[in-house]
Structure 1
Amino acid sequence: MLLHEDPAVTIRGISVSDMDNNVYLLTAKKSGAQVLIDAADDFPAIEHLLRDGAADAAGPAKVELIITTHSHWDHVRALPDAVAATGAKTAAGAEDIPAIEVPTDVSLEHQDVGRFDGFSLEAIKLRGHTPGSVALLYRAPDGPAHVFTGDSLFPGGVGNTQKDPERFATLFNDVHDRLFGYLPDDTVIHPGHGKGTTLGAERPHLDEWKSRGW
């Protein structure tokens, strides 16, 4: 599914598995450089996504990097096949790397920027759902920003922290400061499961989330 198109990039996404995991692909229109976010499951479906992305590009498409937003098993089931088929490098938040069975080439820290031929992505560390969860920020040249939040922010609240008050506080504070305090309301949120939202749609509920503790 085509989620966004601008002069530089297309963003496509698919849902895989009975857990409704989202897999996202950014493709640079001119160069064909691609970044795949969360090779969650169903590699044949991901191959189809890659072919659709390749058709968006004037140049030959190539997956430059596969980024895993966090180490939970449902977000990495197709990662071995994706790496084998594409030869792409892999990236994940530093603290989550030991829990990912596929070797990780790039260790991500907060506000690291990956520069590809036609676009950039900024890593935003959102700790709490897992210790090294990362979101990826794409700043569109002529429209709202796009953030791929993994399981750290959804419509209606932050990600699951297993009723641990310390983990919830960490995640809530990171989401509050590093997303809502950093980006405007028209920013589009692409979560790890289900439908997307915007920061503006969710901002009025921040106090409610903080009070309920999840």
Structure 2
Amino acid sequence: MAARIDHTTTSGTFSLDGQTFDVDNNVWVVGDDAECVVIDAPHDVDAIRELVGDRTVRAVLCTHAHDDHVRVAPELAAAVGAPVLLHPDDMVLWRLTHPDREPDGELTDGQVVQVGGVGLRVLHTPGHAPGAVCLHSPELGVVFTGDTLFAGGPGATGRSYSDFGTITESIRDRLLPLPEDTEVRPGHGESTTIGAVRTHFDEWVARGC
């Protein structure tokens, strides 16, 4: 049973700093026919459970704790019997959405989450959020970047708990060294590659986006 990546998109809202926006979020599920992990749990438990099917869910992995990435994480965890894991530096954001429910465990830099015969290595990439992480699978040739990196540039840094210099440093130091054919699977929008990102990175930094 070879590991694979399943994907769906769910729609909802993102709220922070007194403003609310409509958003479409990618949900990535990594595993084989027997077990999987869910990367982010934004808006729709039923859509995620349909993607999972009858597999055992080993964990719900949160790339960061903005509400459009963790809104249904506790509900999903209860439904599938899996722990919610989050980098501890993002607890300040988690508590804005779930003040009465803690995550079940932590994601730490360098940690490797094993599922379906492949590993997902946790890369702490602050900037969009203090506890933002990316998840790199060398075996699958993929990095799941949440809102740290998109096909069009770094994630947004115009809101609370974010910083442009920090996010560009995270991308430069933690993501650009990955093999250039590594696929970048973000939290919103289309995928790209590390090679394509390298081509445009200095331009993005120069224009501050």
Q: Does 1:14 align with 2:8?
A: yes
Could you list the structure 1 runs, at least 4 aligned residues long, displaced by more than 3 angstroms after superposition: none
Q: How does 1:95-114 map to 2 (within 5 A)?
A: 95-100=89-94, 101=98, 102-114=101-113
Q: TM-score with structure 2 length normalisation?
A: 0.86
Distance 1:209 1:92 in 2: 28
Aligned-pair CA distance for 1:64:
0.6
Aligned-pair CA distance for 1:73:
0.7
Q: CA RMSD in A?
A: 1.8
1:65 is aligned, of 59, 68, 80, to: 59
Q: Does 1:147 align with 2:143?
A: yes
Contact 1:97 1:107 in 2 (8 A): no
Contact 1:151 1:159 in 2 (8 A): yes
Distance of aligned partners of 1:117 and 1:190 in 2 relative to their CA distance in 1, 3 Å threshold = closer
Distance 1:95 1:187 in 2: 27
1:91 is aligned, of 68, 85, 99, to: 85
Q: Does 1:162 align with 2:153?
A: no
Q: TM-score with structure 1 length normalisation?
A: 0.84
Aligned-pair CA distance for 1:98:
4.1
Distance 2:159 2:76 in 1: 34
Where does structure 1 lack aligned partners over 5 or more consecutive residues? 1-6, 55-60
Contact 1:8 1:119 in 2 (8 A): no
Aligned equivalent of 1:210: 205
Contact 2:3 2:116 in 1 (8 A): no
- Deviation sequence 1:82-103 (CA, Å, 0-9, x none): 0110110111112013432242
Aligned-pair identity (%)? 39
Where does structure 2 lack aligned partners over 5 or more consecutive residues? 13-22
Contact 2:2 2:116 in 1 (8 A): no
Aligned-pair CA distance for 1:8:
2.7
One-letter amino acid of the structure 2 residue matched with residue 190 of structure 1? R
